[in-house]
Amino acid sequence: MTDYRTEHDSMGEVRVPADRYWGAQTERSRQNFQIGVGLETMPTEIIEAFGILKKAAALANFALRPDKMTEEKCKAICAACDEVAEGSLSDHFPLVVWQTGSGTQSNMNANEVIANRGNELAGKSLLHPNDDVNMSQSSNDTFPTAMHISAVKSIRERLLPALTGLIETMKRLERENEGVIKSGRTHLQDATPITFSQEISGWRSSLEKDRKMILQSLEGLSELALGGTAVGTGLNAPKGFDTEVAAQISALTGMEFCTAENKFHALTSRDEMVAAHGALKALAADLWKIANDVRWLASGPRLGLGEIRIPENEPGSSIMPGKVNPTQCEAVTMVAAQVMGNDVTVGIAASQGNFQLNVFMPVCAYNFLQSVRLLADAMDSFDRNCVSGIVADRAKMRENLERSLMLVTCLNPYIGYENAAKTAKLAYTEGITLKDACVRLGFLTPERFDEVFCPEEMV
């Protein structure tokens, strides 16, 4: 049987589970928004970001108004915030994404948990969630700040390492397959030759450009709304609080943050999230393309292209014995589809605000952070369980190359485009080689054909 204690807020008393640090406002939200419970709670990245920003705010307040934020209060807040930031109090953050669009209840959840845990650590009633933990702040500037901190941290700590690892694997595959000539393909049809290393370099370069765009997007995400308080004017925050708290957040995270130049923009616009997620969508698009290429090239094993072999990780069919499927590629493409859907949500959410506040922030943060998490995990898995084990079937590549009618392109300078087309069509309809077709049509002698027909020089 659950024990309860009584908490109160401006609306009256509320019964709260006795073993939880949250207070009245959190409990009201928990009861009023039972939407997606257990499945769609506020992302842990947001909660941990609240731990960071609340500690930074306490330190900034202590530096600027020690008469209000005493050393004792600051110490208790910082100790509780450290536990929030490291995730040890995650069970005390029960609220779902589907709440007020400003994230007010999640801000109060953080205030209440930090105050109650801080009081427990202090051994007395020292902290008030609004007066002390939320000092110089508003939900309207803390939640967008938590969004930016969590976005930057998750990109730097999870996404970029996974992306860089995949790029390094591509570089190794390029070196291992230097000079291996194969048929190119456009429109899913045979095209002129390339080397396998050139094909891989296209994948690698796409990922490198995605990484560059993502890094560029971090500049906007590094700007913080904290200090704007309710509507951007900075009401109830001491002079210099915005720059001081940004400096404290930078010190706590080891990452560069700064105060937003215009707080009215910082509270009401989510354009930086839209731009950054656009870079994530570009990465998703490239990963989808690469995964498709890999599974096409590995198709078979006898009736497909069969030009590469990929790791066989698990049986592929419950009815067809011995079947093995490109499951990692399929997982990557499903992740990419989810990210593209998330991009629509992030864009719509960013457009939905009135006057001085955007009111779709929780769903914007939820989708953004899910995209980062999924892309990072998918790239790690794709790299470890598929790409790192790609092996070129050089004999099959050579066989396909020699059968390609598009090698006729190298004859254009000698017999002209139209005669080359006639050669290819005759070779195809008669099932003969390009050489036999060209000689039969009288365009070149056998000796001259051998002199000018050099697929190796076409790459």
With contact defined as beta carbons under 8 Å apart, do 82 and 55 qualify? Answer: yes
The reply to whether 92 belongs to the active site is no
Q: Burial code of 98-131, b = ≥16 C-beta within 10 A, e = fewer? A: bbbbbbbbbbbbbbbbbbbbbbebbeeebbebee
Of 8, 88, 205, 317, which one is the catalytic site residue?
317
Smallest CA-to-CA distance from 98 within 148, 26, 36 is with: 36
269 and 203 Cβ atoms separated by less than 8 Å: no
Whole-angstrom distance, CA of residue 50 vs CA of residue 103: 12
Grouping H, G, I as helix, E, B as strand and the rest as coil, residue 101 is coil
Do the Cβ atoms of 340 and 280 come closer than 8 Å? no
> In this structure, which amino acid lies at residue 159?
L
Is residue 148 classed exposed, middle or buried when 0-12, 13-18 and 19+ CB atoms within 10 A define those classes?
Answer: buried
CA distance 218 to 199: 30
Q: For residue 437, with 0-12 CB atoms within 10 Å meaning exposed, 13-18 middle and 19 or more buried, which class applies?
A: buried
Residue 317's Cβ-count burial label (10 Å; 0-12, 13-18, 19+) is: exposed
Tell me the C-alpha distance between 15 and 41, whole Å: 21
Could you say which of 128, 187, 217, 318 is catalytic?
187
Nearest partner of 287 among 367, 374, 355, 185, judged by Cα = 374
Q: Judge whether 393 and 306 are in contact, CB under 8 Å.
A: yes
CB 141 within 8 A of CB 228: yes
Whether 317 is catalytic: yes
Q: Are 118 and 77 in contact (CB under 8 A)?
A: yes
Q: Which tokens sit at 213?
A: 């765009």
Q: Which residues are catalytic?
A: 187, 317
